[in-house]
Amino acid sequence: MAQQQYDVVVIGGGAAGLSGALTLSRARRSVLVIDAGEQRNRPAGHIHNYLGREGTPPAELLSIGRGEVSSYGGEFLDARVTAVSGDADHGFTVTTDEISVKARRIMVTTGLVDEIPDISGLEDRWGKDVLHCPYCHGWEVRDRAIGVIATGPMAVHGALLWGQWTPDVTLFLHDGFALTDEQREQLEARRVRLVEGVITGLEIVDDRLTGVRLDSGETVPRDALVVQTGLRPRDTLLTMLGLTTQETPVGPFVPVAPTGATAVAGIYAAGNVVDPMAQVITSAASGLMAGAALNADLVMQETRRAVAFKRLGVDGDNPGELFSRDYWEKRYAGHGTHLFRGKANAHLVSDVAGLTPGRALDAGCGEGGDALWLAAQGWETTGVDISATALERAAAHAAERGLTVTWEQGDLTSWAPEPGAYDLISRHFVHMYGAAGEDLYRRLAGGVAPGGTLLIVNHSYTDVASSTIPRPDLPEMFMTAPEIAAALKPDEWDIQVAEERARPATGPDGAETSVHDVVVRARRR
Ligand SMILES: Cc1cc2nc3c(=O)[nH]c(=O)nc-3n(C[C@H](O)[C@H](O)[C@H](O)COP(=O)(O)OP(=O)(O)OC[C@H]3O[C@@H](n4cnc5c(N)ncnc54)[C@H](O)[C@@H]3O)c2cc1C
């Protein structure tokens, strides 16, 4: 694997997955296909009814498909995915036994498992002369002696259908399968022979099926057998993400839109995992459809993001601008004598009030509202900010109030506190983009002394739709409380608070409103 982060991870590299990956890699998306190599038709010698590749061995089609995907930059990992977590806004994590990779979107194409009826010998001959589908194998056994074993409700339909390929069809009423009078009349009219009795095994000569043994001791000569398998979708990853199944005539399957979109945003599915009737060519077609829909979904997410950055005055291709010295100098300069209210943040006051003052760091201190409150409470306080203008204003406020604070100009995209130097590190509303946010929490965490407190407060992305104080539509900028807590090593930190809180606020129009913040308070062990 060339990287740890992909636009799309495709889980399952059969016809559906490879076709989706081809569509996406041709759409210039970074794609990783993770495949456990258990394609449903792998026991079969050839693929039939695949226009343009009629009669191709399954492994050959896969190899051609992999080559095509690779030629456009798609990558492969031979492994089994054990878990998928996350969401479309913050991205997904895909886990195998050995690695974790991140993906913006997921395509699940894990296929299904055929549950072969529990009759001695059937499993060994599966895909060779024990068959299920006349469109896959009918031509190859035309005019031969075919036996249909009645193990499910489609048995009579199967026996009648196979009569299209051969005049010699026997229906085994294995274990007392009951026919209606109408079915019996249909089968007799179509000259399907009926055999009563329990099947005890198959007769194999020179690696070829020659007959079916019954408990009566009789052996009925047959060249091929047809069974109705149970169709069990490999949908554990889908249900793990909260999707539920719906009953279909062949069992429960997760419903999807014609585009392959599931009810969970960012998760698409195609092929046999969601469509039990899909053949190889229709699985490939559904993979193409899901790939195209998924690409359109990503384009719209990218457009929302570009618009949000544009509104912030930043080029979306360079989110780092949002944390540059120039950006903040312009923001402070554009706001007369102050950008912020100068008051301490409510969660600092509520969550720090009970602590014994020691050394405190306010990371991203701006014009000093929090740092000055801490100093007034007796904390030996350092305030760090990227903007010289903000620090000058903060120092002037400190002088006015006779408070002592150490002011330091530092770029929080790389600045790190002295290890273990502080009894309290507080960081309010410094919203870095994507992985930079997590990186900042880790660096700040390193500055907290044993027994000390780390207090992280963010705006909540849930306010994005608020009409009074809307947040930029950039979910990657607003980590949730569990995400922040997860960035701290569990053996080093006791998470005391990790929650979303509502707080009263005043909107730009002066109206009283309520906003939501994410608060994480942790104590270093
Ligand atoms: C014996 C037999 C013969 C058939 N012959 C034909 C035929 O001639 N013509 C035809 O059109 N159809 C045929 N079919 C049907 C055909 O097999 C399916 O239509 C087709 O395989 C469905 O493609 P898919 O991509 O959805 O799933 P699959 O081809 O089954 O691929 C799913 C892939 O996902 C992988 N996977 C599953 N879970 C995970 C995980 N957690 N992590 C990573 N990878 C995972 C699996 O290992 C597998 O490689 C046949 C079926 C059988 C059983």
Cα(146)–Cα(120) distance, integer angstroms:
18
Report the separation in Å between the CA atom of 114 and the middle of ligand 1, taken as the mean of its atom positions: 10
User: What is the identity of the amino acid at 481?
Assistant: A
Asked if residues 373 and 350 have their Cβ atoms less than 8 Å apart, the reply is no
Q: Which residue's C-alpha comes closest to atom 5 of ligand 1?
A: 136
* Per-residue pLDDT in tens (0 to 9) along the chain, 525 residues: 556 899 999 999 999 999 999 999 999 999 999 999 999 999 999 999 999 999 999 999 999 999 999 999 999 999 999 999 999 988 999 999 999 999 999 999 999 999 999 999 999 999 999 999 999 999 999 999 999 999 888 999 999 999 999 999 999 999 888 999 999 999 999 999 999 999 999 999 999 999 999 999 999 999 999 999 999 999 999 999 999 999 998 899 999 999 999 999 999 999 999 999 999 999 999 999 999 999 999 999 999 999 999 998 888 888 888 889 999 998 888 776 666 667 899 999 999 989 999 999 999 999 999 999 999 999 999 999 999 999 999 999 999 999 999 999 999 999 999 999 999 999 999 988 888 888 999 999 999 999 999 999 999 988 887 767 778 888 888 889 998 999 899 999 999 999 999 998 887 778 888 899 999 999 999
List, chain by chain if needed, residues with CB within 6 Å of any ligand 1 atom. 11-17, 34-41, 43-44, 47-50, 80-81, 109-111, 114, 127, 136, 234, 271-272, 278-281, 283
How far apart, in whole angstroms, are the C-alpha atoms of residue 18 and residue 72? 12
pLDDT of residue 508: 73
Residue 251 CA to ligand 1 centre (angstroms): 18
Q: Which atom of ligand 1 is the closest one to the Cα of 273?
A: 26
> What integer pLDDT is reported at residue 280 of this predicted model?
98
Task: Give 136 Cα–ligand 1 centroid separation in angstroms.
Answer: 13
Q: Cα(65) to centroid of ligand 1, in Å?
A: 14
Ligand 1 atom 47 nearest Cα: 38
Residue type, 138: G
Determine the longest span between alpha carbons in the chain, in angstroms: 106
CA–centroid distance, 512 to ligand 1, in Å, is: 58
Nearest CA to ligand 1 atom 26: 271
pLDDT for 175 equals: 83
Mutate to test the pocket of ligand 1, among 34, 54, 84, 136 (most ligand atoms within 8 A of CB): 136
User: 34 CA distance to ligand 1 centroid (A)?
Assistant: 14
For the CA of 272, the nearest atom of ligand 1: 26
Counting from 1 in the atom list of ligand 1, the atom nearest the Cα of 271 is: 26
Residue 339 pLDDT: 66
Element (H, E) at 446: helix 435-446
- Report all structural domains of the chain as residue ranges with CATH numbers, in order of start: 5-114+231-304 (3.50.50.60), 117-228 (3.50.50.60), 325-524 (3.40.50.150)
pLDDT the model gives residue 32:
98
From the CA of 103, how far away is ligand 1's center (Å)? 24
Q: Find how far residue 155's CA is from the centre of its chain.
A: 39
Residue identified by tokens 């009563």 is 196
Neighbours of 300 (CB within 10 A): 10
Ligand 1, pocket-test mutation among 32, 41, 108, 128, most atoms within 8 A of CB:
41
Note whether 426 and 455 are within 8 A (CB).
yes
Number of residues that make up the chain: 525
Ligand 1 atom with minimal separation from the 278 CA: 19
- Beta partners for residue 148, in sequence order: 171, 226
Q: Kindly state the helix (H) or strand (E) to which residue 134 belongs, with its residue range.
A: helix 134-137
∠ CA 369-375-381 to the nearest 5 degrees?
A: 95
The predicted structure's pLDDT at residue 322: 86
Total-model pTM: 0.86
Among 18, 280, 282, which residue has the most ligand 1 atoms within 8 Å of its CB, making it the best to mutate? Answer: 280
Q: Which two tokens stand for residue 310?
A: 């544009």
Tokens, residue 83 = 């878990």
The pLDDT of residue 374 is 97
DSSP state of 462: G
CA distances from 359 to 367, 415, 422, 449, 523 (A): 20, 18, 5, 10, 15
From ligand 1's centre to the CA of 229, what distance in Å? Answer: 14
Give the residue, by CA position, lying nearest to ligand 1 atom 19. Answer: 279
The reported pLDDT for the residue numbered 2 is: 59
List beta partners, residue 208.
Answer: 205
Q: How far is the CA of 232 from the centre of ligand 1 (A)?
A: 12
CA 97 to ligand 1 centroid distance, Å: 22
For position 507, what pLDDT does the model report?
76
* Cβ-proximal residues to 75 (8 Å cutoff; 6+ apart), any chain: 1, 2, 6, 30, 31, 32, 33
